[in-house]
Structure 1
Amino acid sequence: MVAALNETLLDESRIPAVIADVQTLIDEEVSDKSGASGLALKGGYATVKKLGPTIVPAAIEGLLPEFVTKLEPYWQAFAASGESAFSEYLVARGDEVADSLLGVTDERIENSERTAIKKVYSTLRPSAKKNVIEALPRLGVLVQKHVG
């Protein structure tokens, strides 16, 4: 049986590198966006980062266990499938994976008392699923890097 993601991605010795790589993934995904929705996403992300330089890394650290839990069934099914690229496995199930991951942030934002972040999230949420689906190739590579 393949190791559970929480045993690898959430291992204390790996957490700093995983968080740094997730932040890089987010930065690259935001940077790649274009058009009006890309402009809105870039603006919203810049606003969040201006609110505090530790907000993004702290959010990643706080959400990572829940994201890992959501990714676990996909990782186990991928490992059993014999496929070689987790990124391709995730992309093939993009809608389902994106909905699962967004459930984590939706719940967190709903329970947040930070009105500025809630406001930014509410403006970005309509395009979030598309953005998460577009990030799945990088996410799959990131997971395999840290697990492999």
Structure 2
Amino acid sequence: MSTAVSDALLDETRRTEAVSALTQVIDAEVADKSGLGGAAVKAGYAAAKKLGGDFVPSATDRLLPQFAAALDPLWATKGDTPFAAHLESRSEQAADALLAVTDAKADATSHTAAKKVYGALRGKAKEQVVAALPRLGATVERLVQG
């Protein structure tokens, strides 16, 4: 049986690497955005980064247990399929599972600036998450198989 995403990413010997790699995924996805929608994403991301120099890695670390748990059922059903391809084939399910994590965090936060930035970007978030699934899946698979 393969290692669960949560077991691998939350292991104390790998967590720092996981947070760094996932932050790089976020940075790369934002950098790849173009057009008017891309400009909005980039502006929102820049605003989030202004909340604190380590806001994105810190938020990634805080949310890692929930994100990993959201990916566990998808990992468990991937079989021999590369995780990136598996996530793409179940893009609606994967995006909904990941967005449920951020939605819950946004609802619970008392950080009004972060809530405002998230609210401004949430309308197009599913489309952005679906676009990020191949890069996310490849990164997660590399981290799990470590």
| Equivalent residue runs for 1:25-36 within 5 Å | 25-36=25-36
Shift of 1:124: 0.2
Q: Which amino acid aligns with 1:76?
A: A
1:18 and 2:18 correspond: yes
- CA shift for structure 1 position 82: 2.6
In 2, Cα distance between equivalents of 1:75 and 1:47: 33
Q: In angstroms, what is the RMSD of aligned CA positions? A: 0.8
Equivalence for 1:77: 77
SS in 1 for 2:102: helix
Percent identity, aligned pairs only, is 44
Q: How far apart are the structure 2 equivalents of 1:113 and 1:134?
A: 29
Moved over 2 A (4+): none
May I ask how many residue pairs the two structures share in their alignment? 145
1:132 aligns with 2:133: no
Structure 1 partner of 2:100: 103
Gaps of 5+ in 2: none
- Structure 2 residue identity aligned to 1:17: E
**Cross-structure match for 1:40:** 40
Q: Helix, strand or coil for the counterpart of 1:13? A: coil
Task: Tell me by how many angstroms 1:2 deviates.
Answer: 1.4
Question: Alignment partner for residue 88 of structure 2, among 67, 87, 91?
Answer: 91
What TM-score, normalized by structure 2, do the two folds share? 0.96
Query: How many angstroms apart in 2 are the aligned matches of 1:128 and 1:67?
Result: 15
Alpha-carbon distance in structure 1 between the residues aligned to 2:56 and 2:80: 35
Q: TM-score, normalised by structure 1?
A: 0.95
Structure 1: tracts of 5 or more residues without a match: none
